[in-house]
Amino acid sequence: MDSARLLDSFCDLVRIESPSRHEAAMATRCADELRDMGFSVRFDNTAAQTGSDTGNLIAYLPGTATGHIVLSAHMDTVEPCAGVEPVVADGVVRSAGDTILGADDKAGVAAIFEGVRSAVEEGWARPDITVLLTTCEELHLLGSSALGSDALPQGAPCYVFDADGAPGTVITGAPCHYALKAVFHGRASHAGVVPEAGISAICMAASAIEAMPLGRLDEATTANIGVIEGGRETNVVPDTCLVAGECRSLYRSRVDAQRDAMTTALENAAARFGGSVDIEWEKSYDAVLYDEDDPLVQAIVRAVEAAGLTPRFHHSGGGADANVLAACGVRPVTLSVGMANFHSLGEYISVADLEDSARLVEALVAEGVRA
């Protein structure tokens, strides 16, 4: 592994502005890099579905031995990401302070590139390698969700480099997620003259929320109401109110029960006040859950140890592309790359974690031949 090349590559990547739905410049740079390593590169036709200015990038490098692995990261970042200027000091990379850094997930991209390039340059035996770089991950996994079911090699392990925590950390669980949108309908009236003639949609929403179990419900299940919008004027009893929220759990039975409890609270509140409610639930993604003795997890452990790292197992409360990639026929697992304070102006990553992530890519390539 070339540490200086890795750091230069990461800094170059974070300077490329690539907010969700505007990943084309990043995609062009990544395609050039992969072609230079010998990959054939194509873009799928998901841009029309996601609203991005490019499709997902799918690259393929034939192996010199048996096996096939998929290495994945996402190309988009949250904002503000215009004019990112990385600053390296005391072994840590940060932004200059008025933007995010973009380690989420350009650290994953840089680690994949350096790890694969090193394996190719060293002439190691390697399996077939598919690299998947997705769009719109930060928008509820839109890019990966739009992938065709035949886009990836069936049954292959898929390593998604997109989590905080020390490299070597394996995300063995990530939740199923439901998104809620509910609109209460009441009856408008003058709040000072005939308030009794009105039915307050905001009161219905408040009653429903009060009746809902919210927050951390158990070690694997959470729920939240994050948006309330309603009313027009202070002197009008509000006739509509939007409530939006979510629930998630590692276990499908629990998240389904929580969804039903929230639905019941919404319906009961509407009935109590004499109004109505339109309820829409959308499943954003399924859960990912592996036992630590799963052969795939144990293969990762061997690679982690071969890279000189310490294996750790973690259950995440958030989703990543791994949550939807199983629908493409691969076995996806999210791996940590060391990003910290992501989605904030205080985001940073240590140079050592970048290097360890690239070493793990090298080890996973080698493990892909043995598997």
The 10s digit of each residue's pLDDT in 247-283 is 999 999 999 999 999 999 999 999 999 999 999 999 9
Residue 137 and residue 250 share a domain: no
pLDDT band at 89 (very low <50, low <70, confident <90, very high): very high
Distance from C-alpha of 295 to C-alpha of 282, rounded to nearest angstrom: 32
Last residue in a domain, options 261, 284, 307: 284
Residue 73 and residue 93 share a domain: yes
pLDDT of 64 above 80: yes
Residue 318 and residue 278 share a domain: no
342 sits in the region (left: phi over 0; alpha: psi -120 to 50; else beta) called beta
Average pLDDT over residues 306-314: 98
Distance from C-alpha of 219 to C-alpha of 243, rounded to nearest angstrom: 25
Residue 180 and residue 161 share a domain: no
Q: What is the mean pLDDT of the chain?
A: 97
Q: Residue 355: which of 116, 173, 115, 128 has the closest Cα?
A: 115
The number of beta carbons lying within 10 Å of the beta carbon of residue 109 is 29
Read off the CATH number of the domain in which 274 is found: 3.30.70.360
Q: Is 178 exposed, middle or buried (0-12, 13-18, 19+ CB in 10 A)?
A: buried
Residue 131 and residue 170 share a domain: yes
Residue 314 and residue 277 share a domain: no
Residue 129 and residue 19 share a domain: yes
Residue 137 and residue 91 share a domain: yes
Residue 148 and residue 7 share a domain: yes
Average pLDDT over residues 144-163: 97
Contact 325, 147 (CB under 8 A): yes
Structure confidence at residue 353 (pLDDT) = 98
Last residue in a domain, options 253, 284, 315: 284
Tokens representing 57 are 């990038």
Helices (H), 156-248: 201-211
pLDDT band at 370 (very low <50, low <70, confident <90, very high): confident
Residue 328 and residue 208 share a domain: no
Residue 295 and residue 334 share a domain: yes
pLDDT band at 371 (very low <50, low <70, confident <90, very high): low
Last residue in a domain, options 223, 249, 284: 284
Distance from C-alpha of 212 to C-alpha of 46, rounded to nearest angstrom: 37
Q: Which residues are catalytic?
A: 76, 137
Residue 242 and residue 198 share a domain: yes
Q: Parallel, antiparallel, or unpaired for β 68-74 and 128-134?
A: parallel
Read off the CATH number of the domain in which 130 is found: 3.40.630.10
Q: 163 is in which domain, residue-wise?
A: 3-174+287-370
Structure confidence at residue 174 (pLDDT) = 97
Structurally, how many domains does the chain consist of?
2
